[in-house]
Amino acid sequence: MGGAVGATEHASVSATSRRPKPTVETFGHERGEGMGAGTIADRLARARRRRFVGRRTEQELFRRALDGELEPALLWLVGPGGIGKTALLLRLSDLAEEHGRRTLHVDARHLLGTPESFLEALGRQVGNDPYAAFAEPSVLFVDTAEDLGGVETWLRDELLPRLPSHTLVVVAGREPPVAAWRRDPAWAELLRVVALRNLAPDEARAYLEARSLDPSSVETITNATFGHPLALSLLADVADQRHDDATPLTVDSPDILTALVERFRVDAPSDLHRRALEVAAHARLTDVELLRHAVDGASADELYDWLAQLSFAVVGSDGLYLHDLAAHALDTELRRRDPSSYLAMHRKVREPCVEALRSTTGVAQLRAASDVSWLHRFSPVMGRIIDWSAARMLAPDRLREGDADDVIEATRRFQGNAAADAIARWIQLRPESFTIVREAGRGARGYVAVLIVGLDDEAAFADDPRVAAAFAHARAHGPLRGHERLCVETWLDYRTHVEPGALASQLSIKDIRTWLGGEPLAWSFLALPGLLEVYEPLMGYLMHERAVDVSVGATTYTLFGHDWRVIGPREFLDRMAEREVLGAEDELPPPPPRPVVLARDDFARALKDALRVATDPDALARNPLSRSRVSLELPDEAPPSRLRGALERALETLASSGKDERAHAAVKLTYLDPARTQEEAAELLGLSFSTYRRHLAAGVERITEWLWQRELHGYDAR
């Protein structure tokens, strides 16, 4: 398929994908350094220039800035998705290289809302010292600026002022720069904002003619798309594929992009290509490794190259993604057409994200949690709660100086004095519990607070009715044991309180990290101060059941809770995948029976009872441990013998310890392979009765402790 280079930001990707991979040399090269007139890269540049149409005013403005005829240090290109921002950046990059400028590229879509991630992206192109790259005349291109988050403020106040005066910066995004740029008199003079519009009819025709389309199609496509670059590119690609189709090309569907993307799916070269397209539509970012895992190991490189040349794909240094409109159309169509295949694909795409979530920390874990959250952006339930577009302007941060006052004041304003006093207590004792959500150029937007506490912490937070109610509910329905912990979560948007919106995206990401990527929890509770008609379906989607209503001063909170020992992270993810396909309102298979959760003393008593009846299957089936984690999660045991199998597994640990042979023999002869009496067991072991009893008690105690650790942490515990 021919990429519509120049007409649209996504059309440009076909050229991007055929460039050498983004390395130090290709992103920061000079003429003559591997880019001479005889190279393939040089031929590709000429091909891009031939296919690029329109944007004459913007190109002329950039040329004048390069030549020093204009003062601006920063050009900010603004336009909606599909308008051609990325294609124009590539064209301006070619112009900069023709003028002998070094070019550097950062796509904010792949950042994590921190200055460090921006510098890391530069460092991958120029080495360890990003600032050294600007010693020579350079142009810095920043794409997808709507995803910069708090980095936008850092660019304005710290990075850009430090760059040499011969540096030119070009930024492209869906939103104009925030007002703080214009409030600064100096930046107001050096900043030029350029709004991109649809192509004019003559430009649209020129682009289609450059694609060598049948003349009969040119006017039809021009009129149907109104010059929208992405629609032009998609329709041109469809026309390219119709060489043997005598039917005139017409556009009757009101949802033109959906129809076009469906055509691409049908015309993909093979089933593997179609599956790769579906994966790319579903994932936040697609690379060869994901295709190798989710589609086909042998063909992953070929599939990636095919995806990269599609006109609605955007390629960056970390992988590619599909234009939002195309991704939505493809994802929705597969879910409607083949729910079972959609579910299987969802699980395959999610697997490496979940593995990274469990095995990494810090920035890598944040990225993995964002990937998992992103997989639910097309869910009807999540879609009613999260404004995914506005969410790109937000980034998580730790509690910093001055934030505590904002947190307490906003809580007081929306929820009253008692709630503010309670949240102040959280800040005093557990400041690490707070994630401050910052908005690009506008400071803090709100907070997410996740208080993680154990039995030893209950007294410290007893004055907070929400925490007290969480402990009480856990005691009644599944008490904490040993060092098990629960979490209580609340959040607040400084402008809209808890109304649905962008901040809920950060709530989702934080939940994923807490529930699935941190130390195991026994319980999680979300405290909702109203809007239950909005949030109760979401709580059902997240398998958090309504627990209790509790008042904190004038505000009533409803706690929704989940016992992670009943439905653990792995099963939670499986059932979430089902809900992604079927929807939260649809009937799902019933959850498994609730496991018995016993306190340590009750567990020990039940274990002694189980040992006494170890040879009686019916009596073992009546023992509460047969419905506990030690039985239900025992690997490779048939259901009727799970508890017996757990006892035998524990007994084996005594046999493998050199100092416990006699304890092992005493337990085995007394309970699992019993002699007629304990006296006979002592005689068989050649021990006095008192010595035998001492070894028996020690063996029972060691078995109890070993199985208790399995009860708390599972059989994978070491």
Using one digit for the tens of pLDDT, what is the confidence trace for 407-435? 999 999 999 999 999 999 999 999 999 99
Q: What secondary structure letter does DSSP report for 270?
A: S
CA–CA distance, 217 with 237 (Å, rounded to integer): 12
Q: Give me the phi and psi of 168, to 5 degrees please.
A: -115, 135
Mean of the per-residue pLDDT values for the chain? 81
CA–CA distance, 278 with 705 (Å, rounded to integer): 49
Residues with Cβ within 8 Å of residue 137, at least 6 apart in sequence:
100, 101, 102, 166, 167
449, 443, 401: which is closest to 426 by C-alpha?
449
Query: What is the predicted pLDDT for the residue at 375?
Result: 84
In the chain, what are the helix, strand and coil shares in percent, each to the nearest 5? 55, 15, 30
CA–CA distance, 359 with 367 (Å, rounded to integer): 12
Judged against a pLDDT cut of 50, whether residue 186 lies above it is answered with: yes
Query: What is the predicted pLDDT for the residue at 242?
Result: 60
DSSP class per residue in 321-356: EE-HHHHHHHHHHHHHH-HHHHHHHHHHHHHHHHHH
Judged against a pLDDT cut of 50, whether residue 36 lies above it is answered with: no
- Domain-located, residue 484: yes
Q: Do residues 554 and 644 share a domain?
A: no
CA–CA distance, 40 with 301 (Å, rounded to integer): 20
Q: Count CB neighbours of 563 within 10 A.
A: 22
Q: Do residues 663 and 526 share a domain?
A: no
Judged against a pLDDT cut of 50, whether residue 214 lies above it is answered with: yes
Domain final residue, candidates 353, 375, 397: 375
Global pTM reads 0.59
CA 201 from centroid of its chain's CA atoms: 41
What are the structure tokens assigned to 675, written together?
Answer: 């002699």
CA–CA distance, 114 with 119 (Å, rounded to integer): 9
- Domain-located, residue 212: no
Each as own residue / partner, the long-range contacts of residues 265-268 (CB below 8 Å, 24 or more positions apart, any chain) are: 265/330, 265/333, 267/241
Q: Count CB neighbours of 212 within 10 A.
A: 9
- Residue type present at position 593: P
Q: Give the helix ranges, DSSP H, for 99-143.
A: 115-126
Query: What is the predicted pLDDT for the residue at 26?
Result: 25
Judged against a pLDDT cut of 50, whether residue 32 lies above it is answered with: no
* CATH number for the domain harbouring residue 148: 3.40.50.300
Judged against a pLDDT cut of 50, whether residue 349 lies above it is answered with: yes
- Max mean pLDDT among 532-541, 658-667, 676-685 falls in 532-541
Q: Do residues 21 and 104 share a domain?
A: yes
Q: Do residues 191 and 65 share a domain?
A: yes
Query: What is the predicted pLDDT for the residue at 9?
Result: 36
Instruction: Give the pLDDT confidence of 432-465 residue by residue, as tens digits.
Output: 999 999 987 678 999 999 999 999 999 999 999 9
Helix axes 201-210, 215-225, angle to 10 degrees: 140
Judged against a pLDDT cut of 90, whether residue 550 lies above it is answered with: yes
Query: What is the predicted pLDDT for the residue at 111?
Result: 83
- Parent domain of 697: 600-713
- Domain-located, residue 242: no
Instruction: Give the pLDDT confidence of 236-256 residue by residue, as tens digits.
Output: 776 766 655 555 554 443 345
* CATH number for the domain harbouring residue 548: 3.40.630.30
Judged against a pLDDT cut of 70, whether residue 3 lies above it is answered with: no
- Residue type present at position 316: G
Taking the CA atoms of the chain, what radius of gyration do you get in angstroms? 31
How confident is residue 657, by pLDDT bands cut at 50, 70 and 90?
low
CA–CA distance, 447 with 404 (Å, rounded to integer): 10
Q: Do residues 535 and 606 share a domain?
A: no
- SS3 (DSSP) at 287: coil
Domain final residue, candidates 316, 346, 375: 375
CA–CA distance, 261 with 330 (Å, rounded to integer): 7
CA–CA distance, 704 with 534 (Å, rounded to integer): 46
- Domain-located, residue 178: yes
CA–CA distance, 531 with 63 (Å, rounded to integer): 54
How confident is residue 295, by pLDDT bands cut at 50, 70 and 90?
very high
Q: Do residues 190 and 283 share a domain?
A: no
Q: Is 468:474 a contact under the CB 8 Å cutoff?
A: no
The upper half-sphere exposure of residue 574, i.e. CA atoms within 13 Å in the direction of its Cβ, equals 8
What are the structure tokens assigned to 453, written together?
Answer: 């506490």
How confident is residue 30, by pLDDT bands cut at 50, 70 and 90?
very low
Q: Percentage of the chain surpassing pLDDT 70?
A: 84
Q: What secondary structure letter does DSSP report for 672?
A: I
How confident is residue 227, by pLDDT bands cut at 50, 70 and 90?
confident
Q: Do residues 346 and 450 share a domain?
A: no
The upper half-sphere exposure of residue 277, i.e. CA atoms within 13 Å in the direction of its Cβ, equals 26
Query: What is the predicted pLDDT for the residue at 420?
Result: 96
Query: What is the predicted pLDDT for the residue at 29?
Result: 31
Q: Give the helix ranges, DSSP H, for 10-84.
A: 13-18, 24-27, 40-51, 56-66
Query: What is the predicted pLDDT for the residue at 250?
Result: 47
What are the structure tokens assigned to 278, written together?
Answer: 């579906």
Q: Do residues 399 and 545 share a domain?
A: yes
Count how many domains the chain has: 4
Name the more confident of 555 and 5.
Answer: 555
Domain final residue, candidates 375, 404, 432: 375
- Domain-located, residue 226: no
- Residue type present at position 260: L
What are the structure tokens assigned to 293, written together?
Answer: 């895992």
- Domain-located, residue 229: no
Q: Is 348:355 a contact under the CB 8 Å cutoff?
A: no
Name the more confident of 333 and 410.
Answer: 410
How confident is residue 687, by pLDDT bands cut at 50, 70 and 90?
confident
Q: Do residues 367 and 394 share a domain?
A: no
How confident is residue 10, by pLDDT bands cut at 50, 70 and 90?
very low
- Domain-located, residue 594: no
- SS3 (DSSP) at 320: strand
Q: What secondary structure letter does DSSP report for 595?
A: P
Q: Give the helix ranges, DSSP H, for 457-568.
A: 465-477, 503-516, 532-541
- Domain-located, residue 63: yes
* CATH number for the domain harbouring residue 286: 1.10.10
Instruction: Give the pLDDT confidence of 556-610 residue by residue, as tens digits.
Output: 999 999 999 888 888 888 887 776 665 544 444 455 566 777 778 888 899 899 8
Q: Do residues 502 and 552 share a domain?
A: yes
Q: Do residues 306 and 371 share a domain?
A: yes
Q: Do residues 392 and 368 share a domain?
A: no
How confident is residue 13, by pLDDT bands cut at 50, 70 and 90?
very low
